[in-house]
Structure formats: structure tokens, C-alpha cells
A and B are shown apart, each in its own frame.
Chain A
Amino acid sequence: MSNNSAASSIVVAQKAVKQLRLEASVRRIKVSQAAAELKTFCLQNAHKDPLLTGVPSSDNPFRPPKSCVLL
């Protein structure tokens, strides 16, 4: 192994270590708190979610196209 490729492996390893240090230092909250906030968001927005609540046919832009009667 030439010294050059050992040196470049070191550069790669140094970057990996630096990245891991950054990720390890991230501020975290407890899952219970995070989960509670996800749940709250869902419930607060549920009434605005058309796929959840359903949409009356008259308001549904994708309702089956009405057949036309030509008089």
C-alpha cells in the first residue's frame, strides 16, 4: 500500500469521524414528547384532510363525470 492511498484513507476517516461527532452532538427530545406532538398535529388537522373525512360528491373535483343528456 503506497503512502498516498493510506493518506487519502485517513482523510476519508477523518471526515467520517467529524461527521459522527456532529451527529452525536445533535439536541434530541424524548420519543414520548415527539410522538405526542405528531399525534396532536394529526388530530388537529384531521378535519381538514379530505382523504380522511371524505368529500361530498358535489364538492369532489374527481367525482365520476356526469353523463350529458343532449336535448
Chain B
Amino acid sequence: FSLCLYLISPLVPEMATQEVQLNETLSHLKTESDTLKTKLEEERAKLHDVELHQVAEKVDGLGQFVMKTRRTLKGHGNKVLCMDWCKDKRRIVSSSQDGKVIVWDAFTTNKEHAVTMPCTWVMACAYAPSGCAVACGGLDNKCSVYPLSLDKNENLAAKKKSVAMHTNYLSACSFTNSDMQILTSSGDGTCALWDVESGQLLQSFHGHAADVLCLDLAPSETGNTFVSGGCDKKANVWDMRSGQCIQSFETHESDINSVRYYPSGDAFASGSDDATCRLYDLRADREVAIYSKESIIFGVSSVDFSLSGRLLFGGYNDYTINVWDVLKGTRVSILFGHENRVSTLRVSPDGTAFCSGSWDHTLRV
């Protein structure tokens, strides 16, 4: 928030007085804004009586982890940008820079459907809860829904439905609890909730000062909120019904590329270009852990929790996946295998596996 004072010789004396009055009001508002920010930090600091890892001191450490790549999904012609699991725990949808969206059976590695989008850089894709449709979008500034046909010969593109329209690229999308609504985030700095059937905008979310890069919906038990992260280094928590930003966190030092709720819904993790992952507790209203190492200097593109929330998986731009002990703050494992940046990572719905997608054109399970 910057204050500009201009010296202008006014044409009319009344204009000059108005000018001065407006600038005074602006100045008062800025002071109040600064005071509130300080107060907010003070209130948060008062309750910061202990660190998470201290509370977890007596918890048994995790043993050695051996995680192997069980499947490699090959077929994309260019960088894999996004992926999502189907609720059936075996199907995966992935999208790529080459404009292709592919639905895979991860058990058999067969491709079940493929769609070519009219744009390149399909940065977002999501599976519908029913498993009967997928949503995707990217540089076309839209989010489109494709019903998945059982008939493999049917041209999926024919049934495409354009649902969301932004004024800049689509960075992320997610169905809500049903196939009927989609939440989107965009390079235009906003998030939006849409009705799939009519394409109508149900709610828009304004508050980020720059591109919004990611979002995640709260687990259904915890109510109608979602978290978003952006290039303004902020992670915002929103009330879906009112469109209001209810909490905001600004401790990262660079773009936030990924946000994911902790399984209980009381916290969320974020991954950023500042090479750290952080955990924010919603009830304490502050950051409670940082997952970083001096040796890790590349940005985190994607994060997700294991089923119990004990493990945090982070996909990094140095081609690795780091696995963190959420409670103790230590790294328990580092996974190699991808030959380029890891761009997307999701744990399967039943927690038995996780899938990573990479700029090396492949996905690994």
C-alpha cells in the first residue's frame, strides 16, 4: 500500500481543499492499516508459546522409508503440469503443456481417454467426484468439463462444456463435493465458484494482489472453506458462501505454488518458490512449522499429506521429492527418479500410494 503525494497547483481553490482532505483521509487510513497489521502480529505472537516440534519431542521417530516407483505412466508429449486421482483410487487424470489431457488406469498403466485441448499449457485438471467427468484449463483462461464416455471411440471434445471464464490463465480447479460446482483460481488474481450445468458464476473471491496459483478445498467435515496461494506470497482462507477472506498468512518469501489441507482440516501446508514448505494452523492463526534445509534451494511446486497427516510430500524443481515428518520437522526421505522438475503430486484417496508428474513428460506412482 503506497501513498503518493502530488504537488499540483490547483486550478480552483475548492479543488485544492478537496485534494488536501482526500490525502489526509488516505493518510489516516494508512496509519490505521499499519496499526492493525502490528496488532494482528502481536495477537498472534501472544499465543505462540511453543513450537510444534517441541510438542512432538516424545513422539517416536519414523523409521527408514523405502518408497519405490511402482508404475511409470508414459504418453504425454511434453511437460506434465497437473494431475488428480479419481475417487476409485486407480484412475488418474493428467494434463500437459502439449495441450493433452489423459485419463489413465494406474494399475494397468493403460490410457483410457485422451482429449486434445485447443490451447497449450493445460495447467489445471481435476477428476469429478463421481468419476464420470474431468475438468481442465490453462492458457485458454477457461475451465471446461468433459463427461467421460464409456465408449472409447466417442469424441470427448464434442461434449465439452465451458464452465469458467477468467481474464487470465487458469492455474487450478477443483470440483466441490459434487459434480455440480467447480472452484477455480486464475492468473487474474481471483478465485471463483461456478455452477457446472449453467456456467453461472456463483461467487467470486477477491483479495490476492497478484496471480493465484493454487487452491484446496477443506475436507468436507470441516465446512465450506478453501485455501488459496498466490504470487503475492499470501495464503488466504475463504468462506465459500460469503466470498469473504477469513484468514490470511504471509510468511513465505516467494510465490506459493501449492496449498493442501491437513487431513483434519485444522491446518494446511504450503509449498513455495522460496524452497520451503510451511504448516499453518487455522485455530492458532499462524505458521507453526517450516520444512526446509540449507541444502534445498529449489522451489517446491506441489505438496500433499499422507492419510494421517504425519508425512508431507513435496515435489521440487530440483527433480526430487522430499518426504517430511510433519510433527518433528525433519526430512525422512528423499526420492529420486524424475529427470526434470516435479510439477504436481497427489496422494491417492485411500492413501496407499502417491502420484507425481514431471516436466520429464512422465507420471510416477
Show the binding face of A for B, using Cβ within 8 Å.
Answer: 1, 3, 6-7, 9-10, 13-14, 16-17, 19-24, 26, 28-39, 41-46, 48-52, 55, 60-64
Q: Which residues of A contact B55 (CB under 8 A)?
A: 32, 35-36, 39
Contact B311 A29 (CB under 8 A): no
What 1/0 flags go to B98-118 for Cβ under 8 Å of A? 000000001100000000000
Contact B26 A6 (CB under 8 A): yes
Contact B281 A19 (CB under 8 A): no
Q: Which residues of A contact B247 (CB under 8 A)?
A: 23, 26
- The 30 sampled A-B contact pairs (Cβ below 8 Å) are A1-B19, A6-B22, A9-B26, A10-B22, A10-B29, A17-B32, A17-B33, A19-B207, A20-B36, A28-B283, A31-B286, A33-B283, A33-B284, A34-B281, A35-B288, A38-B288, A38-B309, A43-B59, A45-B307, A46-B310, A48-B307, A49-B308, A51-B352, A52-B308, A61-B89, A61-B90, A61-B107, A62-B70, A62-B106, A64-B70
Contact B23 A6 (CB under 8 A): yes
Q: Which residues of B contact A39 (CB under 8 A)?
A: 52, 55-56, 59, 327
Q: Which residues of B contact A32 (CB under 8 A)?
A: 49-50, 55
Show the binding face of B for A, using Cβ within 8 Å.
Answer: 1, 4, 6, 8, 15, 18-19, 22-23, 25-26, 29-30, 32-33, 36-37, 39-40, 43-44, 47-52, 54-56, 59, 62, 67, 70-71, 89-90, 106-107, 207, 244-248, 262-264, 266-267, 281, 283-286, 288, 306-311, 326-327, 347, 350-354, 365
A interface, over-half SS: helix
In the bound complex, what is the Cα–Cα distance between A13 and B1 (angstroms)? 8
Q: Most chain-B Cβ atoms within 10 A of its Cβ — which of A46, A60, A63?
A: A46
Given contacts A17-B29, A62-B353, contact A42 B283 (CB under 8 A): no
In the bound complex, what is the Cα–Cα distance between A13 and B25 (angstroms)? 10
Q: Which residues of A contact B308 (CB under 8 A)?
A: 41-42, 44-46, 48-49, 52
Contact B307 A29 (CB under 8 A): no
Given contacts A42-B326, A51-B354, A52-B306, contact A13 B47 (CB under 8 A): no
B interface, over-half SS: loop
Distance in angstroms from A12 CB to nearest chain B CB is 8
Given contacts A13-B1, A62-B107, 5 further A-B contacts (CB under 8 A): A13-B26, A13-B33, A38-B267, A38-B309, A48-B307
In the bound complex, what is the Cα–Cα distance between A44 and B354 (angstroms)? 21
Q: Which residues of A contact B22 (CB under 8 A)?
A: 3, 6-7, 10
Chain A: CB-nearest residue to B354: A51
Q: Most chain-A Cβ atoms within 10 A of its Cβ — which of B283, B307, B308?
A: B308
Q: Which residues of B contact A29 (CB under 8 A)?
A: 47, 283-284
Given contacts A29-B284, A45-B308, contact A60 B352 (CB under 8 A): yes
Distance in angstroms from B27 CB to nearest chain A CB is 10
Q: Which residues of B contact A23 (CB under 8 A)?
A: 40, 245-248
Distance in angstroms from B248 CB to nearest chain A CB is 6
Contact B47 A42 (CB under 8 A): no
Q: Which residues of B contact A24 (CB under 8 A)?
A: 36, 39-40, 43
Chain B: CB-nearest residue to A24: B40
Contact B19 A6 (CB under 8 A): yes
Chain B: CB-nearest residue to A29: B283
Contact B47 A30 (CB under 8 A): yes
Given contacts A19-B207, A45-B263, A62-B70, contact A28 B347 (CB under 8 A): no
Given contacts A45-B308, A46-B308, A46-B310, contact A38 B52 (CB under 8 A): yes
Q: Which residues of B contact A48 (CB under 8 A)?
A: 307-308, 351
Contact B33 A31 (CB under 8 A): no
In the bound complex, what is the Cα–Cα distance between A1 and B250 (angstroms)? 31
Instruction: Kindly identify which residue among B43, B352, B354 contacts A28, using a CB–CB cutoff of 8 Å.
Output: B43
Contact B48 A55 (CB under 8 A): no
Instruction: Kindly identify which residue among A28, A49, A52 contacts B284, using a CB–CB cutoff of 8 Å.
Output: A28
Chain B: CB-nearest residue to A30: B47
Q: Which residues of B contact A30 (CB under 8 A)?
A: 47, 49, 284
